[in-house]
Amino acid sequence: MKFDTPATTNPIDQLRIVGKPTDRIDGPRKTTGTAPYAYERHDVARNPAYGYVVGAGIAKGRITALDTAAAEAAPGVLAVVTAANAGKLGHGKFNTARLLGGPEIQHYHQAVALVVAEGFEQARAAAALIRVDYAAAPGAFSLAKAREGARPPKADGGGSPSATHVGDFDGAFAQAAVKIDATYTTPDQAHAMMEPHATLAVWEGDRLTVWTANQMIDWGRGDLARTLGLPRDKVRLISPFIGGGFGGKLFLRADVLMAALGAKAVGRPVKVALQRPLMFNNTTHRPATIQRLRIAAGQDGRITAIGHESWSGDLEGGGPETAVAQTRLLYAGANRMTAMKLAVLDLPEGNAMRAPGEAPGLMALEIAIDEIAEKVGMDPVQFRIVNDTQVDPEKPERPFSQRRLSECLRTGAERFGWSRRAAPGQRREGRWLIGLGVAAAFRNNLVMKSGARVRLDGRGIVTVETDMTDIGTGSYTILAQTAAEMMGVGLDKVVVRLGDSSLPVSAGSGGQWGANSSTAGVYAACMQLRALVAKQAGLDPENAVFADGQVRGGGSGGISLAEAAGKEGLVAEDHMTYGDLDKKYQQSTFGGHFCEVAVDAYTGEVRVRRMLAVCAAGRILNPKAARSQVIGAMTMGVGAALMEALHVDERRGFFVNHDLAGYEVPVHADIPHQEVIFLDETDPISSPMKAKGVGELGICGVGAAVANAIHNATGIRVRDYPITLDKLLKDLPRMA
């Protein structure tokens, strides 16, 4: 099915099941520990061996000697795999560095060996016996130092240009009476998901099956086949349950390759889980940014010039953090400029982390918007509303399909009590300085081709099959809701099978495209199945009514779905593809984040006291799951604002705080009550589901809302994240 004209009334609009707050159908399995994650698949392979990955001890250079003799002689050891005996390996489309290093080393903790043993402890102990000698080479480990040598990338990760120019930015900015020119920084950040990157690999002849933690099944399967030099049909990747990803499991990582190589070497199943330090230094992370914002406005508060430049770094061949993406679309202004520059750094690979581009970009832009609003003398909520637009600011002939940013901000301001906001540094409760902050939320709406197979059996059970993944987001439930709505059955009559490359290829989980795209794929397959059922019942598919487990014609009697399926059952498969509506309309999601903080006037300690998100993101398929997504994203945004930072050892080129003791993330005690409001909205330009997505919108702008609240509480403007107390102490007001 091709979606190339705006959606009209369709079966989803009945909203009998879709759009209702629904408990997760996978919830009982996860809460009882019966949902098997990759490392726990004791049911699929007998007598597995255990692999332990050895990571490089330098960030750049070469291995001059690698002695595995002592490890190979250690108790329980079955094999040691290195680049010397692994055979010829290819390079995946989605990897920047090679997943198995040697003799050349491209980054710290790049995998250089795998010890396979009967037990995990034996493999770990033997790994410590491997002797590796290196010839280290000088490397670039500081974005600030590499900034001058940064160059424009060919394009951003989505193919957009690295720089844009509209009007006369330089002239308009120079002539403006009110303007700001400020630089902001965001640090390297880690996904720090609970479940490690983990894989169980099994060979059957020349066929490889891996149970792994991966968000994008088809991408992972393709890259594993490329790396091992196998035909795609010889590789099967299974990932039905994933314990968090946030973009860190979008791509094939070292655990998958090393498990496959280890299993090949010992002729039996092998399990590999990356130890926590390697999750930080071996896999991907959100790259640090340096961002310069220049904004000019008239006395009426209307932006006359806006410029956003961003610098980020990655390994040779990598890409930029697209931190200027939202600035191209969020606010009006005739004179505009954005530019990205990329430095080559010898740190571990930088890549996607929840809302790549917009999350760090809004951390800077939305502080700058507050700063220019303050200079103009306008309330920051009103300033944002004044500069709203209903068309793409860079291409005014291209309207937004839906854009309710102003309504999000007005609704949030009223609900949050914004009118009680005081001037900076003026509101106190005992030793606590109290402040309110706001930021706009923006994330583009992306859609991807997605397929599904739907089966109807003689019991009236509908089974949905697709390689879509559930990374804790509720995919099982919204796909079941979609099939139930389309086929006129209850959720108890729907079974969902996910996360297996033997199933039809879906959009996968990433980019906020997963829910909308994958449900649209199920919609397409169900339309095919409805036609088959109607034919069996002798009805016109266009007029057939599916309800209460039956199909019937307009006003006439019908038959049960079970009867229509018969003993053989019915099967339909289709995929949803898209036309050029995204060229005619700019499709985006919007929101407003509001935050109240208390700052200890003596110590600079920051406590977040209240949070509110108002989101306009198309049809909300399951409000209960969507709220969970948004409050989880808000929590991550608080972490980014106040504590999360990977600290680089610039002598050795690695992230020092590479565990959950040193890399701080928010815990329950850090997070107050969070309120989420979804505007009642459908977007017929997006898909037949008329949905978009909220999983990444929820983090966009949160960091700046916290930063702006801290400024309102203290009068101190911090432009370098995270906002730790040492950045506040020296400027806190003197206390009697």
Q: Which sequence positions are flagged as catalytic?
A: 696
Beta strand 270-273 pairing with 49-55? parallel
- Whether residue 491 contacts residue 484, with contact meaning beta carbons closer than 8 Å, is answered with yes
Beta strand 462-465 pairing with 494-497? parallel
Give backbone dihedrals phi and psi of 336, rounded to 5 degrees, phi first.
-140, 150
Amino acid occupying residue 65: A
Helix (H, G, I), strand (E, B) or coil at 443: strand
Q: Which helix (H) or strand (E) holds 421?
A: none
Distance CA 92, CA 143 (A): 26
Question: What value does the CA radius of gyration of the chain take, rounded to a whole number of Å?
Answer: 27
- Whether residue 514 contacts residue 450, with contact meaning beta carbons closer than 8 Å, is answered with no
Return the number of other C-beta atoms located less than 10 Å from residue 675's C-beta: 18
DSSP state of 118: S
- Whether residue 599 contacts residue 710, with contact meaning beta carbons closer than 8 Å, is answered with yes
Distance CA 282, CA 275 (A): 10
Return the number of other C-beta atoms located less than 10 Å from residue 317's C-beta: 12
Return the number of other C-beta atoms located less than 10 Å from residue 5's C-beta: 10
Peptide bond just before 722 cis, omega within 30 deg? yes
Q: Which helix (H) or strand (E) holds 82?
A: strand 77-82
Cα–Cα separations (whole angstroms), residue 427 to 434, 696, 703, 729: 5, 33, 22, 18
Cα–Cα separations (whole angstroms), residue 231 to 152, 195, 219: 36, 30, 14
CA nearest 99: which of 83, 84, 87?
83
Dihedral sign (CA 259, 273, 465, 268): positive
Return the number of other C-beta atoms located less than 10 Å from residue 247's C-beta: 23
Cα–Cα separations (whole angstroms), residue 336 to 293, 665, 700: 11, 36, 22
